[in-house]
Amino acid sequence: MEEAILEAIRLAVTKIPDDVVKSLQEAYKRENTPTAKFNLENILKAIEIGEKERIPVCQDTGTVTFFVEAGVRNPYLGMIKELINSALEKATREIPLRPNSINVLTNKNLGNLPIVHWELVNGDRIRIAILPKGGGSENCSALAMLTPAEGFEGVKRLVIEKVKECGGKPCPPIILGIGIGGSSDLALKLAKKALLRPLGERHKDGRIARFEEELLEEINSLGIGPMGMGGKTTALDVKVEVAPRHPASFPVGVVFQCWAHRKAFLEISENGEVRIWQ
C-alpha cells in the first residue's frame, strides 16, 4: 500500500490529467494572439515531456495535500497516516519532489510533510485524493467573511477583484475553487476540495452551476490570459461547493490552482487491493 501511494504521488506530479490537457488544447485553438498561443504551446510541451520522461511537470512540486475518505470498517484504517508519511518521504527522494516544508520559526527545511484532511464514512473502502499544490497559486488564496446581504453578488465581486489583483502570479490559466458557507475554515476546505472535480463538470444544483458558468465567462473577459501576458483564457474552469451557514455569517473561501493542475486518486479495499486513477 505504501508503494501504491508512492505511485499515485508520482502519477500526480508527472502526468497532468486528460481533462486538464483537453481544456488546455481547446484554449490553444481559441487563442488568436501569438503570445497567448506561445505560452500555451510551451505549457503543452512541458506536459508532454513530464509524462514521457516521468519527471515532475513543474519544478515546484507543491505542498502535497491528501483528502482521505476513510471507511470505518476498513481493517487498514489505523495504518493510513503512517503509510502516507512514509510514501511521501520516499517520493521526495525517488521521483524526486522538491522539499517544500519549512519550519516557520527556524526556516529549517523539513523535507515534505503532508497536509491530510480526514473524513470518516460508512463502508469498508478508503479513498484518497492527492492534490500537490504549488506555492504561487496558493499565495493568491483568500478568505472573506461577507455579510449575508452581499450574497452571491458579493462573492462575484470578491472573486473578480482577487483574480485582477493576482494577475499572472498564479500561473494562469487557473482553475478556481470557491467554498461558500459553513465556517471560515470549512469554506477554504470546500474551495480546495472543489478542485478535485473534473473540468467541465457542473455542480448538481442548477443555480450553482449557472453561477460557475457566469464567473468563468466574466474571468475570461478580463484579458489576463495565459501566464498573465494577455489572451482569452485566464481560467479553465470555476468550481463551487457550498455548506449551510450561520444566519449572521457568509464565509467565502477562494483557492487558486495553476495550469499544472496535478491530482490523483486511489482506493484501498478491505482485502488490501488498490486502484489508482486520475
The answer to whether 126 and 74 are in contact (CB under 8 A) is yes
Strand runs (DSSP E) across the chain, as ranges?
A: 63-71, 115-121, 126-133, 142-146, 174-182, 235-245, 250-257, 264-268, 274-277
- 138-151 residue pLDDT tens: 999 999 999 999 99
Cα–Cα dist 192/133, whole Å: 10
- 2-58 residue pLDDT tens: 999 999 999 999 999 999 999 999 999 999 999 999 999 999 999 999 999 999 999
Whole-model pTM: value is: 0.94
Q: Which of 177, 175, 254 minimizes the C-alpha distance to 220?
A: 175
The answer to whether 72 and 28 are in contact (CB under 8 A) is no
- 200-217 residue pLDDT tens: 999 999 999 999 999 999
Dihedral of the alpha carbons of 244, 264, 13, 64, in degrees to the nearest 10: 40
Instruction: Give residue 233's Cα distance to chain centre.
Output: 18
Q: What is the CA radius of gyration of the chain?
A: 19
